[in-house]
Amino acid sequence: MAGVNVLRRRYDTCARRGISIIELAIVLPLVLLLILGLLEYGWVFRQSYHIANAARQGARWAAPPEATRADAENVIQVAMAQAGIGVSDYTVTWNPASDVSAGELFTCTVTVAYDDIALGMPLVPTPDTLESSITMRKEGP
């Protein structure tokens, strides 16, 4: 009888190991997908922050009466370079397109195609573009 109990324990131990491996094979891909999704969405939020910061700095730089749009776009370029986003990866648009006079509103919009800055995690849905718009009033004397 003692020999049968030893064999039964050995069989139960091996069966438990087999079940554990099957459970791991089912759960591990889901956990990895979750971790990759967290990394990708963390990257999305980081890049969104940098894009909003660049638009805000550019609009703030364009608000004083003596400022030019070229100076503001240079500030945006520096902010985007600090975020690791190249000049060819984003567009800056101004509304209205020409300089405004004191007291008028203007909007600075920075748009980035997400494919240009993505981490590239598979199976994780991501946005097509990241965009930030800032509206300010032109300061005047």
Q: With b meaning 16 or more CB within 10 Å and e meaning fewer, what string describes 60-92?
A: ebbbeeebebeebbebbbebbeebebeeeebeb
Structurally, how many domains does the chain consist of? 1
Confidence class for position 1, pLDDT limits 50, 70, 90: low
Q: What is the pTM of this model?
A: 0.78
Question: 55 and 110 in contact (C-beta within 8 Å)?
Answer: yes
pLDDT of 5 above 80: no
135 SS3 class = strand
Residues 69-118 pLDDT 10s? 999 999 999 999 998 888 888 999 999 988 888 889 999 999 999 888 87
Residues 27-71 pLDDT 10s? 999 999 889 888 888 988 999 999 999 999 999 999 999 988 999
Query: Which domain, by its residues, includes 62?
Result: 2-137
Dihedral over Cα of 72, 74, 79, 83: its sign: positive
3-state SS of 52-79 is HHHHHHHHHHHCCCCCCHHHHHHHHHHH
Confidence class for position 121, pLDDT limits 50, 70, 90: confident
